[in-house]
Homo-oligomer: A and B are copies of this chain.
Amino acid sequence: MLITLNKSADPKEVQRRLYRLGLWSQALAPRTEGGAASLLVAPHSATIDPERIARVQGVAEVSVPKSPHPRVDELARRGHAINDQVSIGGDLPPVLMAGPCSVESEETAFESARIAKRAGAQIMRGGAFKPRTSPYSFQGAGREALGWLRAAADAEGLGVVTEVMSEHEVEAVGEVADLMQIGSRNMQNYALLRAVGQLHKPVLLKRGMAATIDEWLQAGEHCMAAGASVVIFCERGIHSFDPSTRNLLDLSAVALLRHAYGLPVVADPSHATGRKDLVVPLAHAALAAGAHGLLVEAHPDPAEALSDGPQALDPDQLIALGQKAFPS
Q: Name the interface residues of A218-249: CB closer than 8 Å to any CB of B.
A: 218-219, 221-222, 225-226, 237-246, 248-249
Contacts of A62 in B (CB 8 A): 30-31
Judged by a CB distance under 8 angstroms, whether A58 is at the interface is no
Give every chain B residue within 8 A of A156 (Cβ-Cβ). Answer: none
Contact with B along A1-42 (1 / 0, CB 8 A): 110100000000000111111111011111110010110101
Q: Copies per complex?
A: 4
Residues of B with C-beta under 8 A to A35: 61, 63
Q: A199 on the interface (CB 8 Å rule)?
A: no
Residue of B2, B134, B218, B242 touching A28 (CB-CB under 8 A): B2
B303 touches A19 (CB 8 A): yes
A window 304-328: CB within 8 A of B? 304-305, 309-311, 314
* B212 adjacent to A242 (CB under 8 Å): yes
Q: Are A38 and B19 in contact (CB-based, < 8 A)?
A: no
- The complex places the Cα of A213 from the Cα of B209 at a distance, in Å, of 14
Q: Which of B24, B47, B166, B239 contacts A210 (CB 8 A)?
A: B239
Q: Is A272 an interface residue (CB 8 A)?
A: yes
- Are A259 and B241 interface neighbours, CB within 8 A? no
A76 interface residue, CB < 8 Å from B? Answer: no
* A window 51-93: CB within 8 A of B: 51, 54, 61-66, 68
In the complex, chain A residues 172-220 whose Cβ is within 8 Å of any chain B Cβ? 185-192, 208-210, 212-215, 218-219
Given A133-B215, A213-B242, A242-B253, CB of A65 within 8 Å of CB of B282: no
Give Cα distance in the complex from A179 to B81, angstroms. Answer: 45
Q: Is the CB of B61 within 8 A of A32?
A: yes
Known A189-B186, A240-B241, A281-B259; judge A251-B253 contact (CB<8 A).
no
How many A residues face the partner with a CB closer than 8 A?
117
Q: Tell yes or no: A287 within 8 A of B by CB.
A: yes
Residue of B nearest to A282 (CB): B255
A155 at the interface (CB under 8 A from B): no
Assess A45 versus B260: contact at CB under 8 Å? Given A61-B31, A249-B252.
Answer: no
**Interface majority SS (helix, strand, loop, mixed), chain A:** mixed
Contact with B along A256-289 (1 / 0, CB 8 A): 1011100000000000111111100110111111
Within 8 A of B (CB), among A158-176: 165-169
A290 within 8 A of B: yes
* Closest chain B residue, CB of each to CB of A249: B252
Known: A22-B275, A46-B277. 15 other contacts (CB 8 A): A2-B40, A20-B303, A21-B310, A32-B61, A35-B61, A43-B244, A68-B134, A136-B225, A185-B187, A185-B188, A186-B188, A208-B210, A212-B244, A239-B241, A281-B290
**10 residue pairs from A and B, CB less than 8 Å apart:** A2-B40, A16-B304, A20-B309, A31-B51, A45-B310, A68-B136, A132-B190, A244-B253, A249-B251, A255-B273
